[in-house]
Amino acid sequence: MRRGSHAAQQRLTPQQAAARQATAQLSQALPTLDIDDMPQTMGTPVITFDHVTKVYPAQPNKPALNDISLQIYAGEFVFLVGHSGSGKSTFIRMLIREIKPTKGKIYVADEDLSTMRNWRVPYLRRNIGCVFQDFKLLPNKTVFENVAFALEVIGKSRHVIKTQVPEVLRLVGLQDKLNKRPDQLSGGEQQRVSIARAIVNRPPLLICDEPTGNLDPQTSRGIMDLLERINRTGTTVLVATHDREMVDNMRRRVIALDRGHLTRDQDRGVYGFDV
């Protein structure tokens, strides 16, 4: 299964080839963000895990994460892989400080999350975009309103909302569907809306928890394409996934977790678990 994308392209069925071509066209249609607009902080760690252990009270003998130490640098594109129950979600929930580590320290952009005051947490989350498997869109709001909501509730002015929301929706390729409701969109489109909402505030870090978890392979590729594009603008992207093909094709840094242990941390890695 360890083959490059070029090799893969030659062995595609016509249908798949067509889909890939469509995806490529779509990504060409997307305007690129001006890289100069983005803060360039290459070389400094955005995320640091320092001997982090998390034990849930329900399972005191089986830590969800066991002594994890790693660093993720600005501008990286990182896959976090592992089976269900390997600790991926715990990892992500600790990053946005929904839960605190039992032992060890987590730093996000030089801020220690374990000593962070509660009232500072919202300001941490403004610097982290989050995308989830279940999209978490509001069904009674339009696409535009869903994305605008993220700016509205952090107190951005109406002017900022009016300029920034259409721009980010154009970036994800939904400029024609501003007034649709989420239930009128396909799964992939809904996920694009949720990505748009995550990046509309231009956070330096984007975290995706199974972003392609319930999408078909073609749509998943489109989403990954989009994430890569966002990464190219300087945003650090962390993707938790168990989409083997995706990880193998993209050849980015892979962090593998197995039952709470960090088993592998590899640049240009592959999924690597035998299923």
Q: Under the criterion CB under 8 A, does residue 117 sit at the interface with another protein?
A: no
Query: How far is the C-alpha of 60 from the C-alpha of 64, rounded, in Å?
Result: 9
CA nearest to 165, candidates 195, 196, 137, 192: 196
Q: What is the largest CA-CA distance in the chain?
A: 55
Q: Under the criterion CB under 8 A, does residue 197 sit at the interface with another protein?
A: yes
Q: Under the criterion CB under 8 A, does residue 157 sit at the interface with another protein?
A: yes
Among 154, 163, 179, 267, binds another protein (CB under 8 A): 154
Q: Under the criterion CB under 8 A, does residue 155 sit at the interface with another protein?
A: yes
Task: In angstroms, give the least distance from the CB of 120 to another protein.
Answer: 10
Binding mask 124-153 for another protein (x = CB under 8 A): xxxxx-x-----x-x----------xx-xx
Checking phi first, is residue 25 left (phi over 0); if not, alpha (psi -120 to 50) or beta?
A: alpha
Per the CB < 8 A criterion, the answer to whether 211 and 191 are in contact is yes
Q: Under the criterion CB under 8 A, does residue 24 sit at the interface with another protein?
A: no
Applying CB under 8 A, the span of 31-39, 84-92, 155-163, 221-229 interacting with another protein comes to 155-163
Query: How far is the C-alpha of 118 from the C-alpha of 123, rounded, in Å?
Result: 10
The side-by-side arrangement of strands in the sheet containing 65-73 is 65-73, 45-54, 103-108, 111-112
Q: Residues interacting with another protein, by CB under 8 A?
A: 96, 118-119, 122-128, 130, 136, 138, 149-150, 152-155, 157-158, 197-198, 201
